[in-house]
A and B are shown apart, each in its own frame.
Chain A
Amino acid sequence: MKIKGNGLNRRNFIKTAGITGGVLALAGSAGAGLASGKNKDSFTGWGRTAYGKDQFFNRKPFITDNPTYEKVGESRRITYIEDLFKRNGELSRLLFARGNEAPSWTFDDGAEKLPEPLRTYYLEHPESLGEFRKAIQKSQEQEENWQKYKNKYLLADAWSSAHASAIQGQGAFPPQPKGLPEESDFRGVKKEALKLKSPGHGSSLIKQITYSFGASLIGIARVKEDWVYQGYLRGVGKGEYEVPGHWKYAVVIAVPHEWDSMYANPTYGTSYDAYSKLRFIAGKLEVFLREIGYAARSHVPPTSYEIAMPPLAIDAGLGEQGRHGVLITPELGANTRLAAVTTNMPLEPDKPIDIGIREFCSKCKICAEECPSGAISFTDEPENVIRGYKRWNIDADKCFTIWNSVATSHARGCRVCLAVCPYSRKNNWIHNIVREVDPRDPTGVFSSAMLAMQKKFFNYPGGQAYLPPPDGENSTYGEAPSWLMTEEWFNY
C-alpha cells in the first residue's frame, strides 16, 4: 500500500508507529507510575480493610519458632510505675492538686519525700525526675507559644481533638473494667456457649470478624506472663496480682494512622485517629466474644492496657520490634498502632516471624538521627537488658519532653520516628518489590543498597528542625495534606 503524496508505505508506517509507540509506552509508564504514587488505595488500612486485604504480606516463609526478642537473663513482669504515663500521672496528681488544695509535693522536696512506689523509682532513676521537671517547663512554654501557632495548626488540632473526643471521659468506648477480672471480663457472657469445631475455626472466625470491625492486621498469641503489668489492675487498683487464668489468648489488632498526616508529623499528625479506631475495634470484639460465650477484656490506647503490646504482637506474628521500640510490620512499617483483647476462647495462636528487622535497624539509625529528643539509641547492636530481654532502649522521659516542646496545643505526641522509618511506606509496586526481596536476601546486600538510596534520595530535615523557633523550624517530615492546612481554607 502506498499513501499518495507523502511517500509513506505500510512498512514505513509500522516503523513510524513503532517509534511513536515506544515514546507513548514510556509516557504510559510515567502516567501509571504517577497514578500508583498518588493512589490513596495504596495507603494500607484505609481501603480494603473489612475483607482482610490489608494483611497482604505472606508470612509463611518467615515463620520462626524463636521470637525475635532476645532473652538473656531472668525475666520479670513490668511494674506499672515503669510505665511513663502511669508514673507521670501519679506525680502530676501530687504536683497539681485539685481545687484550692496545696500541692502535696514539689520538685524542691526531692525524691525522698515522694510516696511509694514513686520514691523508690525516682531514687533509682534521678535523671527521670529531672526530665519530668523539664517537660513541665516545656509544657508551660508550649502553652504560651501556642498563641503564635494556633491558627496555622487550627485544622490539625481540631482534627486531633475530634478523634480524641471519642475516647475520653465517662462515655468512652469500651467502658473501663469494674471489679476483679474474674467478674468484670465475664460480665454479660452468654451462659450457653456452642461447642466450637476446633481452635483453628475459632481463630479464623475471630480474624474475619475483627477485620470486619476495621482491623488492618490481626494476630493471635498465648498470653505470656512476662508481658503482663504488675502492681495495678484496671477496675481494682494497686496491688500485687497474678495473671488471671482466663487470659489464655490475646487477639492482637493493628491499624495505621492516616498516612498523609502521619508523614507530616510532628505538628500535623495525631495519635488519636488510630487510637479511636483501635478502641472501637477492640471494644466491639470484646462484646462479640461475650455474646458467643467467652470472657473478654480490651487492652486499648492510650493507657488502658494490662499488657505490653509490642512483645505480644511479636508473639502473634505481626512483626518485629524496631530500634525505636515501635513494632514494625511488613504491611504498615512503623505506622502500626496496637490493641489486644484477652479471652478464654479456644484459639490457635499464630507463630512469630523473622523478616530481618533487627539486622536492618542495626544498619539504619534514621529514626535515631531524626528523633528531636535524642531518645533513641545509636548503638549498632542492642546493649540494654530490660527485665531480662536485650533490646534497644528508648528514653521515654526525653521523648515526653519533646511532646511538650513541639508546636501543638498540648503534649499530644511527636511520631517522627514512625514517619521517617523506611518501612513506613505505601502498598504500591515499588515498595512491594523491596518488601518482598529484602527479607529473602540472606546476604543483606539488598537492604544495604536500599538503605543507601533511602538516605541519599529522601529528604530528612534532621532532629532539631522539628522543634519550633528559635531551636528549629517547625519542620515536618512530609508535606502536610491540604485538608489539614488552615491557609488553604481560611484567611488569617
Chain B
Amino acid sequence: MYPNALILGPLFWIIMGVIYTVTVTGFYYWTKDKGIRLNWWKWLLSVLWFTGTNVVIAGAFTLFGENETRAGLYFIGLFGVLFLILGVGLWRILSPR
C-alpha cells in the first residue's frame, strides 16, 4: 500500500511534510488573528497535542489494518477521548481571557 510502496511511499511522506507545514503556518496566522499570543511552551504543547492526536489515529488504524478491529476501537475510544479532553484543556490555556 502507498506509504510502504517504493515510489509512492517517499512521495506520500513528502506530501505529508508539506501538509504539516501548511497546517502549522495556518495555525500561526489563525492564532494571530484571534489575538492568541503563543510563547514557546504553548507552541510545544500545541505541537505535542497535534502529534499525539495523529499517533492515536495512526495507532487505531494500524490495529484495524492488522484485523484487530476491536482493539483499534478500544484504542481510539480510550486515547481519542483522552486527547479530546487534553484538547479542551489546551484550548482553555491558549484562548485569550
A residues within 8 Å of B by Cβ?
A: 11, 14-22, 24-26, 28-39, 41, 426, 428-430, 453, 456-459, 478-479
Contact = CB atoms under 8 A, between A and B. Distances in A.
Interface in B1-53: 1-4, 12, 15-16, 19-20, 22-30, 33, 50, 53
B71 A29 contact: no
Q: Which of A33, A456, A478 has the most CB of B within 10 A?
A: A33
Given A17-B22, A36-B65, A430-B59, 15 more contacts: A19-B26, A20-B22, A21-B26, A26-B57, A33-B64, A34-B61, A34-B62, A37-B62, A37-B63, A37-B66, A38-B65, A429-B58, A453-B74, A457-B71, A457-B75
Contacts of B4: 35-36, 39, 41
B70 interface: yes
Nearest to A429: B62
Nearest to A479: B67
B54 A29 contact: yes
A34 to B, nearest CB: 4
Nearest to B22: A21
B67 A32 contact: no
Nearest to A426: B66
A430 B63 CA distance: 9
A33 B65 contact: yes
Interface of B: 1-4, 12, 15-16, 19-20, 22-30, 33, 50, 53-55, 57-68, 70-71, 74-75
A35 B65 contact: yes
27 contacts: A11-B29, A11-B33, A14-B25, A15-B33, A17-B22, A18-B23, A18-B30, A20-B22, A21-B19, A21-B23, A26-B57, A28-B12, A28-B15, A29-B57, A30-B60, A30-B61, A32-B12, A33-B62, A35-B2, A37-B61, A37-B64, A37-B68, A39-B4, A426-B66, A430-B58, A457-B71, A459-B68
B49 to A, nearest CB: 11
A33 B59 CA distance: 6
B19 A24 contact: yes
Contacts of A459: 68, 70-71
Nearest to A456: B74
A430 B28 CA distance: 31
Nearest to A454: B71
A17 B65 contact: no
Q: Which of B60, B62, B70 has the most CB of A within 10 A?
A: B62
Contacts of A478: 67
Contacts of A453: 74-75
Nearest to A37: B65
The 7 closest A-B pairs by CB, nearest first: A18-B26, A37-B65, A33-B61, A33-B58, A21-B23, A35-B1, A21-B22
Contacts of B61: 29-34, 37
A31 B23 contact: no
B7 to A, nearest CB: 14
B60 to A, nearest CB: 7
Nearest to B1: A35
Contacts of B71: 457-459
Contacts of B59: 33, 430
Given A14-B26, A15-B33, A22 B50 contact: yes
A15 B1 contact: no
B91 to A, nearest CB: 14
Contacts of B12: 28, 32
B23 A22 contact: yes
A47 B53 CA distance: 31
Contacts of A426: 66
Contacts of A36: 3-4, 58, 62, 65
A24 to B, nearest CB: 5
B63 A26 contact: no
Contacts of B33: 11, 15
A20 B55 CA distance: 18
Contacts of A24: 19
Contacts of A31: 2-3, 61
Q: Which of B4, B25, B53, B70 has the most CB of A within 10 A?
A: B4
Contacts of A457: 63, 68, 70-71, 74-75
A31 to B, nearest CB: 7
Contacts of A33: 57-62, 64-65
A34 B2 CA distance: 10
Given A29-B54, A30-B58, A457-B70, A35 B3 contact: yes
Nearest to B24: A18
B62 A430 contact: yes
Nearest to B68: A458
Given A458-B68, A459-B70, A21 B54 contact: no
A158 to B, nearest CB: 23
B1 A39 contact: yes
Q: Which of B22, B25, B60, B61 has the most CB of A within 10 A?
A: B61
A25 B57 CA distance: 10
Contacts of A37: 61-66, 68
Contacts of A429: 58, 62
